[in-house]
Structure 1
Amino acid sequence: MSPMTQQALRWGSVYCVLALLPMGWLLFSPPTARSWAGEFSIMLGILALSVISLQALISGRHRWFAHGVGFDNVLQFHRQIGIGALCLVLAHPIILLIAHPDLIHYLDPRDETLRALMLMALIAATLTLVISSLWRTRFGLSYEWWRLIHGGLALFIVAGGLGHALMAQRYTQGATTSLGFGLLILLPIGLVVETRLIRPWRMRKRPWRVVDNQLEHGETSTLVLAPEGDHRFTFQPGQFFWITLGDSPFSLQQHPFSLSSSAAQDGQLAFSAKQLGDFTRQLPKVSPNTRAFIEGPYGAFIANPDNASGIVMMAGGIGVTPFMSMLYTFRDRNVQIPLWLVYANPTWQEATFRESLEALEEQLNLTVIHVISDPHDGWEGETGYVDQALIERCLPQDDKQRDYFICGPDPMMNAAEGALIHLSIAPTRIFSDRFDIV
């Protein structure tokens, strides 16, 4: 079992305890049971409220939470838990009404208009929250608008759900019980204050400025930032930061970018991003001297050359960015172990950093294997996609102590991971970083 898997199991256990804590608190003084199905449905509702509240903890980029698991894995967990919370929210009234049909009047506006409208609004808000998150790009929602809607709906659901639980008074009778339950639900939401207010307030004292904006191959921009003052960041190659461009760190315009510069050099930081979305398409227009605020570093996609006989990096498109940081760092630290980079692109013109990689081949024990799916006439390199046949053909198979790092689009990563498992590479030697996290 890999160290990351062990960490994930530990933090998963902590999460389960936190999610069940409000329910456990209420069960200290349970009311007289009406029916098994009815009480079960109420527990589902309480669990749903607890899970939704904890989403603020999971997505809040708190370095102490789930340390060593990898932020992309944490956000994937956040997404899956959100779908689970939706199922709990829907199951709560369905099972309750099946067990006690007479409670349908709770949803009847003629009986009590405000209560009925609020309950229906909570269900609609939960549906909207999950659907807008899963298919944000299909709906044409910009990241900034989605972030605003996402946070607003989540706060409404927690506040409304807590009010519903307290007013129903099924398990929340008594001042002590109600107060304890309310604190357990609202405590994770209180972390939003740290994330949205306190953290940006601290960041405003450590501004950075853009000193260079380089246009790379493949419609990619590299922003080079330097600190205004003596503050510095230490990071590991393969990690990323959240960047806000502009004069205020409180802006909703905050995006994750992988570092493409060496971790062995102090001072300036370089971030590279392909022009894919509304924000990244504006990167070429960012002028030097633009103020920036950065938060991080985050991520556990970190290569340790001391623990491997060699390192194989598999990149798809702009997924090469964290590997550039690794390679520059290995060069500066004089790493001598064998290195391979399998770099897949649709066309040769889209191969970002290709000149830099040629230079790094001379400076490191590095073999770069370009894979082009739509080659031009005269192309003599590898063609197609990163699959098992290509891996067997291009990489030596005589050493099982190499580490394998994969970053790129989901289809490419799924194919590469499956091929490595089929080739009997130990899962503890395979590390993936999925950059489509927001």
Structure 2
Amino acid sequence: MSRVTRRALQWGAVYLGLALLPMAVVLARPPDEARGLGVEFGAMLGLLALAVMALQALVSGRHRWFGATLGFDNLLQFHRRMGLVALLLVVAHPSVMLVSRPAWLDYLDPREETLRALTLMGLLLATLLLVATSLWRLACGLSYERWRALHGVLAVAVVGGGLGHALMVGHYTAGGAGLLLALLIVMSLLLVAETRLLRPWRLRRRPWQVVETLPVRGEATTLVLAPVGRHRLAFAPGQFIWITLGDTPFQLQQHPFSIASSAERPERLAFTAKQMGDFTATLPEVAVGTWAFVEGPFGAFLPDARNPSGAVLIAGGIGVTPMMSILRTFADRSERLPLWLIYANPTWEEATFREELEALAERLRLEVIHVLDEPPEEWQGERGLVDRDLLARRLPADDGRRDYFICGPGPLMDAAEGALIELGIAPTRLYSDRFDIV
């Protein structure tokens, strides 16, 4: 069992225990009034919904003690799926209770108790809005910064309002059970405060500065940062950072980027991004001298230089950036493990870093395999998709120890993962780096 799998199982057990803890406490000392199986089941769904919503702050908060070895992209996917689970629980909670006791529909009548009715409807609407704007941010016309602010406000409102609703009902939350539930919610809000307030406060003491803005092939831009002062950022090749550009770290503009530079040269920090979103489109205009604040490093996209079987790197487009950090670092360390890079692009002109990859192949035991969708007429290399046939033809037989790292557009990653599994590669030896929030 890999280290990442083992840690995922351990933290999964902790997560499940925390999610079920409020239910376990109230069921340990049930109230005297019996309200029927349907009503009680609906109440349990409500407690579970509130616990899951509270735990979202833990999953998405980039806490190193929690997700350092899991990979933030994996946590992000889990966060999104649990958001959908929370939505289903929030909808199921009143639905089951009202089906069991139709007379309680009066609670939703604003003519009876206006504040209570509006609170219940507001909680449901806020949860729907929270999930919908997360799944369809671009369709809603929200910039990343505005979505981030809205997401935070709605999340705090739903969790805080849910706690207030549970305490006001009081059937299960009287006494110690209510105190435990309140403690869980307060811990969640404290995690939010640590992420949004305390971390930027600490980052302001460790500023960086843009020292180079370089256009690169494939409509991409490389920004090179240098520390202002004597501090450095120790990172492993393949990791990523969150970056805020500007005079202060207290901004909604904070974006994740894979580090592209060598871990052996911490006096310079480089990342490369293609002009695809609202923020990345502005990178070519970033002036030298602009201040930056760096949070990190994060990520478990880490090849083992001690593995004699080496590693296979599969990249699509600008997804090559973490691979560049890996290759540059290994070259600076004179590592001799065998490496294969399968690099897919629409055209030859969009193959970012292709000249440097040729030079790195001379310094490393590296085979670079370019794959083009629209190759030029004289092209003699691979063309089409990264599929099972291509991988079987160009990669050596798997020995049960080699690791596989994949980064790029979602369709390429899905296809590469499926093809490798078809070839008998264990999923525990597949490492995928997925981000689609910038």
Shorter-chain-normalised TM-score: which range?
A: over 0.9
The 1-side partners of 2:316 and 2:76 are apart by 21
Counterpart contact for 1:340–1:369, Cα < 8 Å: yes
Q: Could you report, residue by residue, the CA deviation over 1:199-246 in whole angstroms, capped at 9, with x for unpaired residues?
A: 100000000000001111111111100000011111000000000000
Show the counterpart of 1:137: 138
Q: 1:426 Cα shift?
A: 2.5
8 Å CA contact retained: 1:57, 1:189: no
Given that 1:210 and 1:224 are in contact with CA atoms closer than 8 Å, whether structure 2 keeps it comes out as yes
Q: Give the aligned partner of residue 391 of structure 2.
A: 391
Q: CA separation of 1:398/1:64 partners in 2, compared to 1, >3 Å: closer, same or farther? A: closer
Amino acid at match of 1:169: G
Query: Quick check: 1:48–1:89 contact (8 Å CA) kept in 2?
Result: yes
Q: Mapping of 1:297-312 within 5 angstroms?
A: 297-312=297-312
- Paired position in structure 2 for 1:157: 158
What's the C-alpha RMSD, in Å, of the aligned pairs?
1.3
Q: How far off is 1:398 after superposition?
A: 6.0
For 1:413, the equivalent position in structure 2 comes to: 413
Query: Under a length normalisation based on structure 2, what TM-score does the superposition of the two structures give?
Result: 0.97
Number of aligned residue pairs: 437
| Local SS of the residue matching 1:264 | coil
Q: Is the 8 A contact 1:261 1:270 kept in 2?
A: yes
**Deviation of residue 66 (structure 1)?**
3.1
Q: TM-score of the superposition, structure 1-length normalised?
A: 0.97
The question of whether the paired residues in 1 share the 8 Å contact of 2:308 and 2:338 is answered with no
Matches within 5 A, 1:11-410: 11-31=11-31, 32-174=33-175, 176-397=176-397, 399-410=399-410
TM-superposed CA distance for 1:19, in Å, is 1.2
Q: 1:404 to 1:240 in 2, by over 3 A?
A: same
Percent identical across equivalent pairs?
Answer: 62
For residue 437 of structure 1, report the CA deviation from its aligned partner. 4.7
Give the CA deviation at 1:190. 1.1
* Alignment gaps of 5+ in structure 2: none
Give the Å deviation of 1:286.
0.3
The more displaced of 391-400 and 298-307 is 391-400
Q: In the alignment, what sits opposite 2:428?
A: 428
The 2-side partners of 1:266 and 1:51 are apart by 39
Q: What letter is aligned with 2:428?
A: T
C-alpha contact (below 8 Å) 2:371/2:385 kept by paired residues:
yes
Letter of the structure 1 residue corresponding to residue 320 of structure 2? V
SS in 1 for 2:67: coil
d(CA) in 1 for partners of 2:424 and 2:47? Answer: 44
SS, match of residue 27 in structure 1: helix
Shift of 1:341: 0.6
> Cα gap change, 1:280/1:62 in structure 2, threshold over 3 Å: closer, same or farther?
same
- CA distance in structure 1 between the aligned counterparts of 2:190 and 2:22, rounded to whole angstroms: 16
Gaps of 5+ in 1: none
Distance between the aligned counterparts of 1:10 and 1:258, measured in 2?
27
Cα displacement (A) at 1:7:
1.0
Secondary structure at the residue paired with 2:242?
A: strand
Post-superposition Cα deviations, 1:14-34, rounded to whole Å, max 9, x if no partner, equal 001111222233334322221
* Paired position in structure 2 for 1:5: 5
Report the alpha carbon displacement of residue 2 of structure 1 after superposing the two structures with TM: 2.3
